[in-house]
Amino acid sequence: MLTVDFDRLGLRPGDRVLDLGCGAGRHAFEMYRRGADVIAFDQDPDELAAVGELFAAMRAAGEVPEGAEADTKEGDALALPFADGEFDRVVAAEILEHVPADIQALEELVRVVRPGGTVALTVPRWLPEVICWRLSADYHNEPGGHIRIYTDAELIAKAENAGLVLDGRGYAHGLHSPYWWLKCAVGVKNDDHPLVKGYHRLLVWDIMRKPRTTRFAERVLDPVIGKSLVLYLHKPA
């Protein structure tokens, strides 16, 4: 389930790209499949170990183009262990809402992207997130959980103040917002609730099968209740 549109990001084979806060690696895997030189960066060694294993499995299965490279790197988003201007593209998907010093993280991100390079920032969208917070304190009070809710204007202003230029924005995962509202209503850890289980099966079916009906429904819902806000930006040359 991808949040970033890599065509809008301008990703090309051979680009050196950073997946900042890669988590389970969903964006890193797709960029690797597209022929990029990928660094999956996170502070969780267990997540990174699993990502590294899947990188190796993809190579062994011949799922990546000749010349594509991928590696993992553990570290702190506030002090990235990379040179200035090292990356052509940077993806920071659903990470800034977890970081107390988000401005510092943005400044580090901007430092490591080359002049003329592009960036995709994604965060939970304001309206769906506000509803989740109001339905359940447990949703955002978990250790390492969400500590802020961004408006579009706030995230754009912080990104521009850090030195980026906005190229466009989008919204994603309109079908997922009701799922999270439902989980917050019945208990965020109550995965055995029949409504939650039923909706989860629907989402899995949608991700695996990509039927036209749900693809159309998501295109309609994304601008209204899309779970994620996505900004596409570039660093001035």
Please give the model's pTM, rounded to 2 decimal places.
0.95
> What's residue 21's pLDDT?
97
> What's residue 201's pLDDT?
96
**Is residue 156 assigned to a domain?**
yes
pLDDT, one tens digit for every residue, the chain (237 residues): 899 999 999 999 999 999 999 999 999 999 999 999 999 999 999 999 999 999 999 999 999 999 999 999 999 999 999 999 999 999 999 999 999 999 999 999 999 999 999 999 999 999 999 999 999 999 998 888 899 999 999 999 999 999 999 999 999 999 999 999 999 999 999 999 999 999 999 999 999 999 999 999 999 999 999 999 999 999 999
Torsion of CA 166, 150, 141, 187, to 10 degrees: -100
Q: Three-state secondary structure along the chain?
A: CCCCCHHHHCCCCCCEEEEECCCCCHHHHHHHHCCCEEEEEECCHHHHHHHHHHHHHHHHCCCCCCCCEEEEEECCCCCCCCCCCCEEEEEEECCHHHCCCHHHHHHHHHHHEEEEEEEEEEEECHHHHHHHHHHCCHHHHCCCCCCCCCCHHHHHHHHHHCCCEEEEEEEECCCHHHHHHHHHHHCCCCCCCHHHHHHHHHHHHHHHHCCHHHHHHHHHHHHHHCCEEEEEEECCC
> Which candidate, 9, 65, 202, places its Cα nearest to that of 18?
9
> What's residue 144's pLDDT?
83
**Is residue 226 assigned to a domain?**
yes
Which one-letter amino acid corresponds to residue 131?
Answer: I
Q: Which residues pair with 122 in a beta bridge?
A: 93, 230
> How many domains would you assign to the chain?
1
Q: Provide the residue range defining the domain that includes 151.
A: 6-125+136-174+222-234
**Is residue 190 assigned to a domain?**
no
State the number of CA atoms in the 13 A half-sphere of 136 facing the CB. Answer: 21
> What's residue 143's pLDDT?
85
**Is residue 45 assigned to a domain?**
yes
**Is residue 117 assigned to a domain?**
yes
- Between CA 113 and CA 92 the distance in angstroms is 12
> What's residue 49's pLDDT?
98
**Is residue 180 assigned to a domain?**
no
**Is residue 107 assigned to a domain?**
yes
> What's residue 200's pLDDT?
96
Which one-letter amino acid corresponds to residue 61?
Answer: A
**Is residue 28 assigned to a domain?**
yes
* Domain CATH number, residue 111: 3.40.50.150
Q: Which residues pair with 72 in a beta bridge?
A: 40
